Amino acid sequence: MAGIYIHIPFCKQACHYCDFHFSTSLQNKDAFLKALQKEIVLQKQYLKSEQISTIYFGGGTPSLLSKIELNQIFDCLKSNFQINSDAEITLEANPDDLTEAKIKELKDTPVNRLSIGIQSFYDEDLKLMNRVHTAEESIKAVKLAQDNGFDNITIDLIYGIPGLTDHRWRNNLQIAFALDVNHISAYCLTVEPKTALAHKVKVGLISDVDEQQSLEQFKIMLEAMHNSDFVQYEISNFCRNGVFSKHNSNYWKKEKYLGLGPSAHSFDGESRQWNISNNALYIQSIENGELNFEKEVLTIEQRYNEYVMTSLRTIWGLDLDLIQNNFGKKFLDDCLKEVKLYIQSGDVLNEENKLYLTDKGKLIADKIASDLFKTN
């Protein structure tokens, strides 16, 4: 089943660690929304009439959109795509946007899953990252959403933040568990180039991310998630009661998806393309009836490497039969040769012809994947 990702490129203010495409000016919002609906029409054949099982509003901050604006987008999608009646429809939201009035508005749209960007339940961490909301607003937002009928909620947390002690990280996790959400995404803070955080680290205003501390907090997280009955179904994603993210799972399983909006990526199984990361040029191109994107046709090595990277990160593992069937015996033989040492060291398990990372292997997941990559 295919998916649709919609990038809403607006934020109230810039988080210091963020390198996604966004603007803090809403000046072009109306023009963007008109262009987005026109792009939907222009791209209606991209997925070749496949059923749409997931729709994901990311950003940026999609919770800045009103009920009317969201429903206009949905009406346009329904007119141009075959959307399943039980499609998972996720909207990313900042806690400060989720007032009771806003949540009730969202219940009057097709949105049935909220992804709430909490990051930390400590105000000092939020201030360091230049988040708009407070810790108190985070807890209130989750409870208001639950009280008003949203039972499919995921929250984002960040570890490895400079100054975040192991004790505070444990408390962050316990507060999240107490909120009784069924899904948590937890990421290690990364200092991306050209961000405000990178500048502050460079000039010494903030300490750099401590890799050893981040590793320890990853271990703390694995133990805490296990003790609270959360299944780690991808390196950074945990759920209980079988409430996986269908949209993200489709990415990892290499399903097709269409990306709409500036900077959004699309994948049709053989090629990848990405829209221009400039709001004004995106709007101008669409107004002229043109799609402004770059495209890359993936080589067999690239498709293999992407499969290795994504599959190893998940609970479903790397399927060796799939490698032989889709890429050939030479790819399989090379994979088995490279992974042998990791199996012997206890970092990888080979069960029923599938490779899985152990908890020990998850600590070096990127290294294992890169060693299995094929190069020209």
Say what the pLDDT of residue 232 is. 97
User: What average pLDDT does the chain have?
Assistant: 96
What class, spelled out in words, does domain 2-252 have in CATH? alpha beta
Cβ contacts of 8 within 8 Å, gap of 6 or more: 57, 58, 59, 60, 61, 62, 64, 65, 261
Q: Is the pLDDT of residue 325 over 90?
A: yes
What average pLDDT does range 348-364 have in this prediction?
97
CATH of 300-372, one of 2.60.40.10, 3.40.50.1100, 1.10.10.920, 3.40.50.2300: 1.10.10.920
What average pLDDT does range 213-242 have in this prediction?
97
Q: Is the pLDDT of residue 376 over 90?
A: no
Say what the pLDDT of residue 49 is. 86
Q: Is the pLDDT of residue 1 over 90?
A: no
Cβ contacts of 287 within 8 Å, gap of 6 or more: 35, 38
What average pLDDT does range 96-122 have in this prediction?
98
Confidence band, pLDDT 50/70/90 cuts, at residue 68: very high
**Do 362 and 347 form a contact (C-beta atoms < 8 A)?**
no
Say what the pLDDT of residue 264 is. 97
Minimal CA–CA distance to 61: which of 23, 5, 11? 11
Q: Tell me the whole-structure pTM to 2 decimals.
A: 0.95
Categorise residue 328: left if φ over 0, alpha if ψ from -120 to 50, beta otherwise. left
Say what the pLDDT of residue 375 is. 83
Cite the residue boundaries of each domain of the chain with CATH code 3.80.30.20.
2-252
Cite the residue boundaries of each domain of the chain with CATH code 1.10.10.920.
300-372
Say what the pLDDT of residue 277 is. 97
Q: How do residues 156-184 score in pLDDT, each as one tens digit?
A: 999 999 999 999 999 999 999 999 999 99
Q: Is the pLDDT of residue 368 over 80?
A: yes
The residue type found at 190 is T
Q: Is the pLDDT of residue 78 over 80?
A: yes
Confidence band, pLDDT 50/70/90 cuts, at residue 240: very high
Q: Does 254 or 266 have the greater pLDDT score?
A: 266
